[in-house]
Structure 1
């Protein structure tokens, strides 16, 4: 059970100034991160529960766009999080957002990803997908171009992006990837770059 996966996302809307941001982080008990003036900053606060190498739960505040924000809850991959707990976290995030002057525009509970079947070996996958490794035809030459191909936004948590990228690089489709992209992906997986 390594790594975290997102299990809840609460979407918020509205312009946020420094005072609102501080209030929202205070209400959610988040450790501050990010700068409102830096358009590249996406993570604006986080809180881990449970301690240890992998936290039991990780709450994060994300800027998805100019007036688009979200609060996400991640849990260890393969762990059980019941609907009542997810609802409790969602209500906490929604109440804090409203108190800070934001609108709640959506809530999504995300089912855990199924574990890869032990019945399918890597040899079977490579034999079955040999044609996919014949050439690189994906519209991505840089890592930031690869995220949308993998169904991710640039605002996704790095741990989630690493998990998806790690799974993708284990497939035959990754074998013909251009060398610069492979190097950029390797550096990202090793945590050298965001």
Structure 2
């Protein structure tokens, strides 16, 4: 089954002829692919083999969104992925598109960060029943082997939420206090949904610098 090994999301205005030129630059065949997730938005694709079966695809999202994807049957080699990372980013930028996200990211500029919430608004709520910082990464959409700078930017984005909500794994027995602690020093003490200020969760960010 085909599954995305690399995705480059970019935004910008492209006319029909420019989109066709972008597809030709990538050596894509005309016509959408007929398999894999997101096939309904596909404009052109190319199938080839480098160790495993691969499909390079160009899709349109809305009026100004473009998704350049490398799909694979199995696990492509790291060198294959990195070569196509450079190829797809270069192609998008050559046509004046703004790259807003690359998945999986390798550098900080490939991480998509939503705009910070207003201080007066209701912040995003996070439940963190973890003992180790490594347990947090999957919940932030970060792979365990992601580069340090990618983890740092994701963690900084989390701490910019107006408030975080922390709870232990299980309810505390009556009359007892249950505490958990991230290895980085963030205290989590049992009170009914105790709110922790942003300043107290900046310690993990400093540890990743």
TM-score with structure 1 setting the length: 0.46
